[in-house]
Amino acid sequence: MANSARSTAPRLGLWLAVGLILLLSLAPILWQLLTSLKTTADITAIPNVYFPRQLTLEHYIDIFQRQPFLRYMLNSAFVAVVSTLLCLLIGTPAAYVLARLKLPGEQIILTGVLIVTLFPYILLFLGLLELVRNFGLANNYLALIVPYTAINLPLTILVMRSFFQQLPHELEDAARVEGYSTAQMLLQILLPLTTPALVTTGILAFIAAWNEFIFALTFITRDSMKTVPVAVAQLSGTAVFEVPYGALAAATVVGTLPLVLLVLLFQRRIVQGLTAGAVKG
């Protein structure tokens, strides 16, 4: 009986710790969701109404009626998808070269890639602003696609390189015996085996591009070209000094929903890719 109690106590403590972490992690999300479903009276009530007495969808209807929020979501999706595809198209061959070919100064290249990954991208802002101005890219999606691709490319290279290093060399030797070129071998044999890594890096790049705010706020000023983070930040009330808490919460939920669905859809691939990339590199 004593042994059973001793073995149960650590397990109970573990579950309590897991529950506490989940509560702390999900509480802000739950608060935003509940706020988006509250009436304005419940939101402004004192003391706070934590659970709505009446559910309403008026805030969701409001954000789509007052401004083209669907258009903003399509803008974010376009920029994020294009930059993610460019990351994968450029980063995957570069990662293969760094993983398989013995390049002169390879360690220096890898160190440079790692430093760029850790570099705070906000420090690039003034330089990018000058480039956008000089090349006339203001209010052009390229002003966002190019920086997003450059920022996410080092992470793509590092993750894909770690995955390529774990593939057996015998696969490539057999492919060369069969007459495959390097490009054919990469496209037809190696890439299908690296699907978890491709999905992981793609989703990470997509989320980073979708959520980026500073560049999107500065380089895009045309209303019809706004992205979701900028549109949410610029939501205003129907009167001066009014803060539309309900509309802000609804816009946050709608803007986050595609990312949540994407992660849930590919969660197994993401875990496989992150685990594989962490084993060797």
Count CB atoms within 10 A of the CB of residue 88.
23
How far apart CA 157 and CA 164 sit, in angstroms, is: 10
Per residue in 153-167, pLDDT (tens digit) is 998 998 888 888 888
Give DSSP secondary structure letters for 98-165: HHHS--TTHHHHHHHHHHHHHS-GGGGHHHHHHHHHHTT-TT-THHHHHHHHHHHHHHHHHHHHHHHH
Residue 152 CB-half CA count within 13 A: 31
Looking at residue 239, what is its pLDDT?
54
Domain assignments of the chain as residue spans, ordered by start: 2-44, 60-279
- The answer, yes or no, to whether residue 181 has pLDDT greater than 50, is yes
- The answer, yes or no, to whether residue 240 has pLDDT greater than 90, is no
- The answer, yes or no, to whether residue 279 has pLDDT greater than 50, is no
How far apart CA 248 and CA 252 sit, in angstroms, is: 6
Q: Confidence band (pLDDT; 50, 70, 90) for 280?
A: very low
Looking at residue 281, what is its pLDDT?
42
Give DSSP secondary structure letters for 64-81: HHHS-HHHHHHHHHHHHH
Q: Confidence band (pLDDT; 50, 70, 90) for 80?
A: very high
Kindly state which CATH superfamily the domain 60-279 is placed in. MetI-like (1.10.3720.10)
| Out of 51-60, 154-163, 171-180, 233-242, least confident range | 233-242
